[in-house]
Structure 1
Amino acid sequence: MPVGPVGTYLVVLTARTSLRIGMFAALGVASADGVYAAVAAVAGTALAPLLVPVVGPLRWTSVVVLIGLAVMGAVKAVRRYRVQRMAVIEQETPVGVRTAYFGMLGMTMLNPWTVIYFAALVLGGSGVAGFGERVVFVVAAFAASASWQLLLAGGGALLGRLLTGHLGKLVTALASTVLIVVLAVRLVA
């Protein structure tokens, strides 16, 4: 499975915080995927004409949000590195589980690739006819997404343990910033 900007942000968030925060963030991503799967299963082809005009604006909104998050992360990392080099301790504002969950839910809901993927399901017909098949489709989409996102969060937790030094945190933050910006720009390129 490819890792896009949202997945990259999930890994970085988990690396900077904790596995617990990363797990809640991963479930936020999976919840958004579950919502889109439910829309695709329930609305089917009736919703398709309404989705086509909003994909472009959502793509640009997502690019702006992702680049903004990347720039803020880089600025914060550089400031933190400079302060720590001067031997001053700075307490980072902790991210709570609610913030992680709802932040990633919102980011994924704005992610144009998620919209495009589920729009394609709607445009092509979801292929699920009965109520039982629709429920299975939504649950399977959520479970598949949750397992992948939790795997990414686990990878982020491992990275966080490996790169806990001041320089490691700076390099990780700047590298992820560049990667997020590149992936965001590719959304509209």
Structure 2
Amino acid sequence: MAMEDVKQLVRELLEEVKSLEAKLDEVVKPLEETSSTIPMASGSLEDVIKFTEQSVHQIMGIINDLMKELEKVQEDVDFLLSLNPVSSIRSRLESIKERSKKLSELLLQVITLMSFQDLASQQIKRVIEVLDNIKKTILKIVLSSIEASSLSIEQKEKIVGKATEMLTGDRIFQEDVDKLLEELGL
């Protein structure tokens, strides 16, 4: 093989390395962005679920208290009506009874509408699952790139072991992903 052939081969090899570096940059940047964005999104969604659940429970408690008070008003009105009051007072008491009944119906409608929280929580939990699956997919990509890398066998085994440990868990925590990416130099 002539010296020119060797030089040409080295040039081609350098071009391949540059091309590979460019492809790695294309993967690393979205990976870095995703690895920081997904956990924040998951955490924010979990916070939304907790906040809405707490708020709905508080609102439901208040509504239950209102319903009890309306029942007492109904009882008082019924008692006063049983005393056979004069017609003008009877008319007012019957009006109060009707408004009280209407308020009870409206509160029941509010309780029914509050069921949105449960449905919203279910949908948010599905989104969190999707985000976790995306994180797992990213880790699998990282694993396959580790296996193709020039790291020592010991380094590969260590990183693959940690990544596999993360993949087999129910949840993947950002700190674990960050450590793994740091060990990869990403």
TM-score w.r.t. the length of structure 1 is: 0.36
* Structure that is richer in helix per residue: 2
Structure possessing the higher relative contact order (Cα contacts under 8 Å, 6 or more residues apart) = 1
Tell which structure's C-alpha radius of gyration is larger: 2
